[in-house]
Structure 1
Amino acid sequence: MNWRRLWAVMLKEVRQLRRDRITLAMIIGIPVLQLVLFGYAINLNLRGLDAAIADQAGSAGSRALVMDMLATDVIVPVREARTPQELMALLKRGEISVGIAIPADFERRRIDGRAVAQVLVDGTDTVVQSAALQLAQVPLDTTPSANAGPLRDAGLSAAQRISVVSFYNPERRSAVNIVPGLIGIILTMTMVMFTSVAIVRERERGNMELLIATPLSRSELMVGKVLPYALIGLVQTTLVLLLGIWLFQVPIRGSLLDVYLASILLIVANLTMGLLISTKARSQFQSMQMTFFVFLPSILLSGFMFPFAGMPKIVQWLAELLPLTHFLRLIRGVMLRGAGLFELWPEVLALVVFTVAMMALAILRFRKRLD
């Protein structure tokens, strides 16, 4: 072993790493990214769930109950509702996670010792269900009013007086929540990876000279790179759906056509993002590194592994830039809540805008030149 030659090789590798900015970014960026995400953004103690309140009683007691529920910080009213039917419509569209329904005979129910309120929960996320159960523990004021008769069953616990009803996944099976999300995870991982190496592979194999000699425009080349992989993405979607139904009995309450349309939106969005990465990377290894930087935040911040509502606002704003975030709302809304794409149009619009922006940037960055 010649230590001088060994030192020369080590020094050469260090200098090469220093010149490789992508690798240097991975060395520093991955620990920082994981520390920030897991230490700051990931929070299983949910607070601030989007909610709506339908107080049909409008009495002093019902308003006091609502204020006590809001004081827990578990829910934040973001929508207005007048009836339980409106609450159900908001839940179906995914605009709220929790609905509070207080009947018109609230005071009579409180005197009789019956359930005085109902908490309606979007059960597609089991963590949200667990957080909503805290609302049933809000203490109730059992003091009779001046005109009321004596209280009966005043010793009932708050959990017996405030009922919690979980919709769309009453059995709290984790597979019901995970399997639709896995469609997005698999499509994100494979589609971005496939196209992120597309242009780089042409350069490394020497095929770029042939493409330069053809009359292909930049737009035609980019779209031609995307379409074959879109078919592969649909095959993957079908495979996950079949296995999910067969092995885990995951329901499809909405239209199967809407499921595939939502999948196509994510497929095209990820393919265009992969093309943009491909125009930036200089080697297939670099493209894989850059893909990892996209995949890690997507799986952690989109709401697949950790509740979206538990993240700080600034992290939620960052997550809105990820196509997987919008797809999870779409696929869970269609498959589990039976919603249509028209009802979930903000998520559809977000994916379309993202796709157009990524494709435009990829076309502008691509040059039919070898340098």
Structure 2
Amino acid sequence: MNRLTASLQRFAATTRARTLEFLRDRSALSWNLLFPIVLVGGFAMIFSGEPEPLFRVAVMGAPTSATAAFLETPGVATEPVQAQDTAIQRVARQRIDMLLDVETQPVRYWINPNAQSGALLEHLLRATLTAEPPQRVAVAGDPIRYVDWVLPGILAMNVMFSSLWGVGYGIVRYRKNGYLKRLNATPLTALEFICAQLASRLGLVVLMTSIMFAGCQWLIGFRMAGSALDLLVVAVLGSVAMIALGLIIAARVTSEELASGMLNIFSWPMLVLSGVFYSIDEAPQWLQGLAQWLPLTHILDAARAIMLDGAGLWEVRGALLALAAMSIALLVLGASLFKWTPQG
């Protein structure tokens, strides 16, 4: 009985000590309390808008009185056309249901005969414009499967987690167990150490992502309209940006719990806002603007343009320049903030 009592006392003391340790770690406690609220709030902001429209129509020109009745039909959402060729390509890929040019006489429209929603929308248009039948232009093209659309997101997500956690969490652990302190006693400089971490993780991330890419292509045969070399350039630039972000987190943090929380703070908003599993086209404009400050957004924009639309590096130069600028800024900041030991 005495042995059982002593065992229970040791158990209770250990439980109490671990609980107090967690409660006194304000960073870990705050993360566990605030993260669910932030995550739910983020999803609420993205999906709290109007219900999804039944049809999407891209419109060239100002609607006339004749076409206004069609465009104001409940369930029809319109958007202005920025580039006609791009809009026609979106019709071919069934990303929009119709392209409508209201400036021509008669009205001209582009439709994909293989899209059921487009066929229904065509009947509605012709029933509305009975006085002067519109001119039909058929655009052939297969739809983009969801697996084709989501695969770049899965690959980019792997790059993000491998880069952030591989560098950020690893360096914090080195600092906590004194490994960095021992390195500081050697001729190795901080810049050399950071560059070595960058090179090592970059090689591993690109290698693992390439293996995943080849394996998925062999298993499911996803769409790859562009150049694999162009996609590799995006992967390298995106990996550098993510590794640099991980170095920012690891520059001064000494607590593994705090590092874990900060890594989640950076990674989960990117998963939610960058469009890994779903498009955020229906999210508020300010939220879409915020997503442009996240490296994962530019990785996905460039990768999907290359894989789905056959774009080249020149067409995705905006995303590449953004990734390069983020990489340089984050690396400079990470190097300036880096310290070998908790004391400095």
- Return closer, same or farther for 1:98/1:196 CA change in 2, 3 Å cut-off: farther
What residue in structure 2 maps to residue 53 of structure 1?
59
1:48-87 to 2 correspondences below 5 Å: 53-54=59-60, 60=64, 64=68, 67-68=71-72, 74-77=77-80, 79-81=81-83, 84-85=84-85, 87=87
Give the CA deviation at 1:357.
2.1
Give the CA deviation at 1:74.
2.5
- Return closer, same or farther for 1:350/1:72 CA change in 2, 3 Å cut-off: farther
1:215-230 to 2 correspondences below 5 Å: 215-230=187-202
The question of whether the paired residues in 2 share the 8 Å contact of 1:43 and 1:310 is answered with no
Alpha-carbon distance in 1 for matches of 2:319, 2:145? 25
Give the CA deviation at 1:162.
7.6
Deviations 1:75-113 (A, max 9, x none): 332x544xx446447x59xxx978724388753x8xxxx
1:103-252 to 2 correspondences below 5 Å: 107=106, 116-119=108-111, 139=125, 140-144=127-131, 167=141, 170-252=142-224
Alpha-carbon distance in 2 for matches of 1:166, 1:240? 31
Letter in 1 for 2:178: G
Letter in 1 for 2:77: V
Alpha-carbon distance in 2 for matches of 1:284, 1:164? 59
Q: Which structure 1 segments of 5+ residues have no match?
A: 110-115, 121-128, 146-150, 152-157
- Return closer, same or farther for 1:62/1:229 CA change in 2, 3 Å cut-off: farther
Give the CA deviation at 1:242.
1.0
Give the CA deviation at 1:300.
2.0
Q: Bigger CA drift: 36-45 or 356-365?
A: 36-45
Alpha-carbon distance in 2 for matches of 1:162, 1:11? 75
Q: Which structure 2 segments of 5+ residues have no match?
A: none
TM-score normalised by the chain length of structure 2: 0.80
Q: Bigger CA drift: 327-336 or 243-252?
A: 243-252
Give the CA deviation at 1:66.
7.5
- Return closer, same or farther for 1:166/1:206 CA change in 2, 3 Å cut-off: farther
Letter in 1 for 2:288: Q
TM-score normalised by the chain length of structure 1: 0.75
SS of corresponding position for 2:99: strand
What residue in structure 2 maps to residue 29 of structure 1?
34
Letter in 1 for 2:101: I
Alpha-carbon distance in 1 for matches of 2:122, 2:233? 39
Letter in 1 for 2:78: I
What residue in structure 1 maps to residue 260 of structure 2?
288
Give the CA deviation at 1:350.
1.6
Alpha-carbon distance in 2 for matches of 1:99, 1:142? 15
- Return closer, same or farther for 1:59/1:32 CA change in 2, 3 Å cut-off: closer
What residue in structure 2 maps to residue 125 of structure 1?
none
Alpha-carbon distance in 1 for matches of 2:103, 2:342? 74
From 225, 233, 236, the equivalent of 1:264 is 236
SS of corresponding position for 2:200: helix
SS of corresponding position for 1:74: strand
- Return closer, same or farther for 1:60/1:171 CA change in 2, 3 Å cut-off: closer
Alpha-carbon distance in 1 for matches of 2:202, 2:223? 25
SS of corresponding position for 1:282: coil
- Return closer, same or farther for 1:327/1:119 CA change in 2, 3 Å cut-off: farther
What residue in structure 2 maps to residue 361 of structure 1?
333
Alpha-carbon distance in 2 for matches of 1:284, 1:131? 52
What residue in structure 2 maps to residue 299 of structure 1?
271
What residue in structure 2 maps to residue 39 of structure 1?
44
From 296, 299, 321, the equivalent of 2:293 is 321
What residue in structure 2 maps to residue 148 of structure 1?
none
Question: What's the C-alpha RMSD, in Å, of the aligned pairs?
Answer: 4.0
The question of whether the paired residues in 1 share the 8 Å contact of 2:57 and 2:77 is answered with no
Give the CA deviation at 1:346.
1.6
Deviations 1:43-100 (A, max 9, x none): 69446x9985345xx894675368537x8573332x544xx446447x59xxx97872
Percent of aligned pairs with the same residue?
22
